[in-house]
Structure 1
């Protein structure tokens, strides 16, 4: 690919230089030629002078300075093939030093080859294909609510963040200084846990939250009660939630029968990525909990409530862009890929 691009660039360059020479042969000045060919006078003067001195040979590129290439195409191919199709003896993936010893080039050269071909042997990602028999129907249901919410209705993305720990560092946190990041002790003291129920309004980005000592079916029912009081009467309420057993318990079903304006929509099994409130939980973890210091459960709960208040003051909705068909097509392509003979 790179050689092809270089040849194409060379051919285009020769064509441009030939056009300059032909224009000069018509008796035009350097300024007129530069204006016609949309280039500058220095370029026209350079190729006019070289053509007069060396004729056609003067239009070729001169040898470029620098150390001659020492890595052959065969070595580049060997690095790529070994990276993709083999592993080092006794190991699971290549390091640049192991590959360099195997191929006979420097680790820096291996790194550059990996960069050129987009190879990252040190990285890995996990995946889980949902076994839900209603996978397609649930994807279309949830994504349809995101992209085309019903009229006279509010759509909430709901989930729980269980067992949030109130952690206190064993030493005071040292503040950030110029050139020195914030520092904190690696060990901590546990002061208990709390659970957080959160409902993200997909239209406004605002969150309704409730802390709880647990996340049983009765607690989920009580949270639905809170939503019922918060949402204006006359609006239908669509709640997107996962397949936790507490969401399908008889006490919840009984509550839903008594509140017909509520409708629950379940995400596919092992598909929390489709629940927008999970994106909000990621923000909560990164900006409130990850570096927080909490000396008690009460302090943790107060911090959670404060975070929700601050978020709601400047709330913006998350934008969902993928259609259900795009998601399903990607899942199908991935299933085809992992079900091939090599797997």
Structure 2
């Protein structure tokens, strides 16, 4: 046990500590060992610093970046109980009932096997299979972020120019050319004007807004949009049809709505209406407009898709429209409101990071059956 001495004159509340060789070795080992908890390592540093001649609580606190009260607490604890006093006491509560072997069985069974006559495990079925409670299986699934009842889809681009197109478009986002605008262009086709067959029941405390399950169709409209990633504003135009003629008309709208002294770099997908002779002839007459195509099956590279998702969530999904004209009016109103409070759309990942991520994913799925 440490030997108590008279309090230091510089701080009458600070108990002076003298360390034995064994205590010093234990504290030093705690600090150097990587597996030591950070809290325990800090307590060891505090005690070692307090053992220095003339060390006051205030000086130790300033040196280690902790409070004066923290230094005093662990200084007194060590003086009373020695090294054992620095270790956390057992926490209250019921003892652990799940063994490591049980947890391993739940995880391995979930990941490596399938139940008979089903595509995935449920908590009840797995609990019955392993002789455990459903609550225990649910807790283990949550702890390991396992969700057998859910699945997602993926699609990889097979574009032979995938790498070049990624570098081209990401380069526009991260380092746009001088005296130029980068606009992300796409269409949202066949937006339906839907109307409930009965008036909606408004939301009230304890009850969600309710709509009828069936609805009336009043036609569709197509939205053409160009997102300025630097300003965050959108140029939008609605048409009743989705052809190269309407797309050329929209290009003219974009060209007229932007400063004539700036080049226009348009990021868009590989839709057939973007590459017709009609569009090509228009581009020849307007050389300041340059098109940059995303790789096939890589619409996530076009930032206007993010804006489309906002439009859908905030206006279209729960919107009810008695006519296509009402739908188009709502879309224009949303664009005007968005532009009044526009914020830039910021792309953060570099082309190298994207390509490395895709390569890692391809390697993972190529080895998934071995």
TM-score range, shorter chain: 0.7 to 0.9
1:328 and 1:18 mapped to 2: Cα distance? Answer: 45
Q: Is it true that 1:262 corresponds to 2:289 in the alignment?
A: yes
Q: CA deviation at 1:178?
A: 2.2
Q: CA deviation at 1:181?
A: 2.1
Q: CA deviation at 1:220?
A: 0.5
Residues 244, 276 of structure 2: 8 Å contact kept: yes
Change beyond 3 A, Cα 1:272–1:40: same
Which residue of structure 2 aligns with residue 275 of structure 1?
302
274-283 or 63-72, which moves further after superposition?
Answer: 63-72
Which residue of structure 2 aligns with residue 292 of structure 1?
319
Change beyond 3 A, Cα 1:189–1:261: same
2:258 and 2:56 mapped to 1: Cα distance? Answer: 78
Equivalent residue for 1:242, pick from 263, 269, 272 = 269
Q: Is it true that 1:131 corresponds to 2:152 in the alignment?
A: no
Aligned partner of residue 364 in structure 2, secondary structure: helix
Structure 1 alignment gaps of length 5 or more: none
1:58 and 1:291 mapped to 2: Cα distance? Answer: 61
Deviations 1:184-243 (A, max 9, x none): 212111110000000111111111111001110111111111112112212211111100
Change beyond 3 A, Cα 1:309–1:35: closer
1:34 and 1:150 mapped to 2: Cα distance? Answer: 53
Number of residue-to-residue matches in the alignment = 334
Q: Is it true that 1:220 corresponds to 2:234 in the alignment?
A: no
180-189 or 217-226, which moves further after superposition?
Answer: 180-189
Equivalent residue for 2:335, pick from 308, 312, 315 = 308
Deviations 1:127-172 (A, max 9, x none): 1000111101111111111111111111110000000000001121
Matches within 5 A, 1:200-211: 200-211=227-238
Matches within 5 A, 1:1-343: 8-9=36-37, 13=40, 16=43, 39=70, 41=72, 44-45=75-76, 48-50=79-81, 64-340=91-367, 342=369
64-73 or 128-137, which moves further after superposition?
Answer: 64-73
Q: CA deviation at 1:90?
A: 1.6
Aligned partner of residue 119 in structure 1, secondary structure: coil
Query: What is the root-mean-square deviation in Å for CA atoms of aligned residues?
Result: 3.0
Residues 50, 57 of structure 2: 8 Å contact kept: no
1:145 and 1:18 mapped to 2: Cα distance? Answer: 51
Change beyond 3 A, Cα 1:29–1:88: same
2:96 and 2:256 mapped to 1: Cα distance? Answer: 73
The normalised TM-score by structure 1 is: 0.87
Change beyond 3 A, Cα 1:41–1:173: same
The normalised TM-score by structure 2 is: 0.81
Residues 20, 44 of structure 1: 8 Å contact kept: yes
